[in-house]
A and B are shown apart, each in its own frame.
Chain A
């Protein structure tokens, strides 16, 4: 396929997506579910891609994602709670004076700075998480495979425990969580931030450093013999992965408008791991696709199974709250059975790939019809 043709297809796709976003933005009330699912899906796509960078491309099985997301979410939230409602948010144990001074200083900054505040807040959250990643990376990245997973899982739980501890009440509001966080201005903004993050990670993976990451995944001993400093590159991948996990956590805080430590349990890490595995470990487009699909089916498409179903006057058994998750599990089982390496494996989406799949489908259906044309 020609490059120009591919470019045209990509442009058409981008225009279609943009049009869809503008349409949803204009009809927010009518398509509330699609709006919510797309927002949450693309936010999870950022963290899924970041996990894929660490797990799928560098081969570090890290389960600390929820912990880094929590850091990002809390930092972003503290940046974005308006000064006049801060007393109200911290009404139980009061606000730490440091935060009050900081908020007062933010209020005094120039107007353009305040307009950029959501972006600055997200980056700040990311940087704090990156700092934590660099520190815990020093001992933890010496571990391999399952042991690394256990250590990072432990870190994530420690983070959550610290955030919800009474000692942190004046900063994180303990177990009450933070609310009244400034949200996104539009769906376009969410997609813009997500697109920047994901594009950055794609470019990183395609750079010479990305190739070094893949080398470490394939064979550590050989990678080292090729002059690749294992610790440096593993830390780099881990820190960048944590940065984007935290950005995604910050986006989640902006999306939900209120957060508490319970949001960031191990279950969240498993949700992300699920997305990565379903999409294909080592495929970025797979992660994006699967985060949209998984979020949509969990929150939207399978809702049908949660409400009681009547055929005539007969109530079909099993159709009640929670049945959706049973169906979801069955779907997952089927995916794992038939697509052992995830929906995309290690492949990325390409127009050629789509054309091939389409042709295969066409020839299959024409063969079925028995109308074989030589």
Chain B
């Protein structure tokens, strides 16, 4: 190994191995995935996934900009790996199909907060907005950072705004004021409520339940406050 060219040739081969197997190979296999009709339940002409509404796409940009993926994953692991499904974070494992319309695709690497792959099935927009404004209003002791910069605190003039948050208890604004979500907050809430991965695919069928049990997803224990 005393000649530069030999060294570079060897490095090139090693690098190429890694690149071919982790970039080019997967790209050839799943890079041009299309929405599928390969659905187990309700297969009559349905395709999965469906594009999300435009507001949700704008919300994905807010999700990216504020680094939400630092604490939240968007992927459900298979039943034999971890308790994702038993926790009610999903009814099946995530597959490549679930991300076809996402841009950017931020799966996350750390679960400081709960997984959001199926957040749209657990929360409505009002709950998401309230969590964004003051997470502790719904989950006492939550360590999620509040994001008041996504909201306007306004003096109520005339009738209160129909969009104003209904904030319980100690976090409510002073009398005569209201908290109204800005466009970013509404987009982010639309994005989070659009998240769902529940088309049953052949690749990831619904779990087989023993007779007598229902096929319903487990009770979502994730966001309920501690007892």
Partners in one complex: no
- A positions within 8 Å CB-CB of B: none
- B positions within 8 Å CB-CB of A: none
